[in-house]
Every structure is written in C-alpha cells, then in structure tokens.
C-alpha cells in the first residue's frame, strides 16, 4: 500500500464529491460578476505580492477565474471552458475516485502557488488545469473530441501539443530565466508526477525489458549463415571462396577442387 492508498484509507470520507462541478459553478459566478465589474477579477488573482500583504484569499480564489478570449467571443469561450472543465472533472472522478481527484487537485494548487512565488502570477489556474488535462489523457488517451467542432482529434495528441507549447514555445516568449521557468513547471506539475510518475517509470522500464528480451530472442533464433560445402582438408567454404568448386568424395566428405582425393 502506497502513501496515497494510506491517505485514502484514513481520510477518504472527507472527500468532496463533484469537486470540479463546484469549481465550474464558481467560475460561472465569477464571470457574471466580472461582466458587472471588470475589475472584480483583479481581486482574485494569484498575486504573490498581494498575498504577502495579507490578501491570503488569493491562495484559493484564483481557481475560480475562468479562462476566456482568443478567436471566440468571451461568452462562448467561457461556455466551452466550463464545459471542458466539467467534462474532464467528471471523467477523472470516475477513473480516480473522489478522494484521489480531490488530493490531485489540492496538491496541484499547492504546486501552482509555490510556482507563482518563483516565477510570478503567470502560473495560475491555467497550469493547474493543464495538469488535470494530462491526467485525463492518461486515462482516456484515445478518446476523440472535435476541435473547432469539425476536426476529430484524440486526447493524447492534444496533450502532446499542449506539452509542446508549455515546454518549448512558451519559454521563448516569456521574460526571465528559462531555468527558473522549467523549475516552476516541475513544481506546478508535481501532482501529476506524484500520481503518475511511478507508473510511467514502470512502463518505461517494462518496455526496455521487453525490447531487450526481444533483441536477445531474435539474436538467438536468427539462423547463422552456414556454408553448404566445406573442404575437409583446407576448411575453405563456398562462403569464404564463392568461386571455388567443391565435390563430394566417395567417403561422403566435401573437397575443394584442389584437394579432391584423386589429386592428392
């Protein structure tokens, strides 16, 4: 029994069922309040400087800020964002159970907060939601969704694209130390590494072991090149001397043309 199993056995009754649905509901509420007062969201962001000045509610309220913008109108972006958060939340709770999803999310919040103090408020709910998405891709890699409502794409490919932007494209656009950024990413994804790192390591080790065994088997079972004729006198073969003629003597042995019994 690992640490997570132990925690679940002791504290599983404290799990909050439908946690992500609650987060979605508060995201919707915050969006409505934002439409009435656009400055409202500024009071909820994960701002390390303001937290150090006593605004400790920001340690939790940033998860209720919806993501919107881009090519769609704000209202449509929010609807799609909330639907997707609800969708992956339900899928993860079904796959992991309520307690494990709660623990995964809370550990992600802790990692995101620490990363924000390292690199700034760019590490917010977007990075936390990315960890949820990567976890979802572990359980449902071949599930398809329709990108832009028309293009079917498997979840695992979207996860790889997201990881590419996080690890390659984003560092090129952000100011500051890239090393510090990568450290912050690792901290932010600590929940994913804690929950799935050992499994990923075992799978990689298993693939390596299988590949080594297959290589060993192929090497052992592969037929070595054998000569059809080998002179019993000089030991030359039709492989070492392809132009040499061989004959079978009356004794049943192979002889090259130079060592036929009649020439000895």
Q: Chunked in runs of 10, what are the mean pLDDT values of the chain (264 residues)?
A: 83 91 95 92 89 91 85 82 93 94 94 84 79 93 81 89 85 74 87 90 84 72 62 82 77 79 62
Domain boundaries, the chain: 3-211, 226-264
CATH no., domain 3-211: 1.20.1540
pLDDT, residue 226, reads 64
| Contact by Cβ (8 Å): 72, 80 | yes
Which two tokens mark 186? 């690792």
pLDDT, residue 247, reads 78
Which two tokens mark 27? 């995201």
> What phi-psi label fits residue 68: left (phi over 0), alpha (psi between -120 and 50 degrees) or beta?
beta
pLDDT, residue 169, reads 77
pLDDT, residue 85, reads 93
pLDDT, residue 121, reads 61
pLDDT, residue 215, reads 77
Whether this prediction's pTM lies above 0.85 is answered by no
pLDDT, residue 167, reads 85
pLDDT, residue 222, reads 45
pLDDT, residue 86, reads 95
């Amino acid at each position: 029994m690992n640490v997570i199993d132990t925690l679940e056995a002791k504290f599983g009754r404290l799990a909050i069922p439908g946690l992500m649905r609650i987060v979605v509901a508060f995201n919707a509420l915050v969006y409505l309040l934002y439409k009435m007062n656009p400055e409202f969201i500024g009071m909820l962001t994960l701002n390390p400087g303001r937290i150090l000045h006593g605004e400790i509610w920001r340690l939790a309220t940033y998860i209720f800020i919806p993501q919107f913008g881009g090519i769609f109108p704000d209202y449509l972006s929010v609807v799609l964002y909330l639907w997707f958060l609800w969708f992956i939340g339900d899928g993860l709770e079904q796959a992991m159970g309520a307690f494990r999803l709660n623990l995964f999310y809370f550990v992600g919040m802790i990692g995101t907060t620490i990363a924000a103090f390292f690199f700034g408020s760019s590490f917010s709910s977007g990075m936390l939601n990315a960890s949820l998405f990567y976890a979802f891709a572990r359980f449902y890699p071949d599930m398809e969704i329709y990108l832009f409502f028309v293009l079917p794409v498997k979840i695992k490919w979207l996860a790889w694209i997201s990881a590419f932007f996080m690890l390659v494209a984003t560092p090129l656009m952000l100011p500051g130390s890239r090393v510090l950024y990568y450290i912050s990413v690792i901290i932010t994804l600590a929940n994913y590494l804690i929950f799935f790192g050992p499994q990923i390591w075992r799978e990689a080790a298993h693939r390596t072991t299988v590949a080594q065994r297959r290589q060993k088997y192929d090497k052992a079972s592969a037929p070595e090149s054998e000569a059809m004729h080998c002179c019993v006198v000089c030991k030359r073969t039709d492989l070492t001397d392809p132009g040499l003629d061989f004959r079978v003597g009356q004794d049943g042995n192979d002889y090259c043309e130079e060592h036929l019994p009649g020439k000895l």
